[in-house]
Amino acid sequence: MDVNATKIGQIIFVLTIIVVFFTLKFAKGKTTNLPLIGFYAILLNVIFAPAGWVFCWYWSTKPQLPKK
């Protein structure tokens, strides 16, 4: 079996970028600290990817912040 670590790393990197993009898109208008959400999304996707997907889902279902 030929395991190519470079390809696996590239796939993980691309999936991380996609999930972080969607997490930030969903969290916009729902949080006051968007950079921290981005940092958490990157951290979760690099350490344990399914946790990053759940985090993305969480921000997609959270309601908008009330307007002042």
pLDDT digit string, tens, across residues 7-61? 988 988 999 999 999 999 999 989 989 999 999 999 999 899 899 999 999 999 9
Instruction: Specify the pLDDT at position 42.
Output: 93
Kindly state the tokens that stand for 44.
């979760």
Q: Which residues contact 46 (CB under 8 A, 6 or more apart)?
A: 12, 16
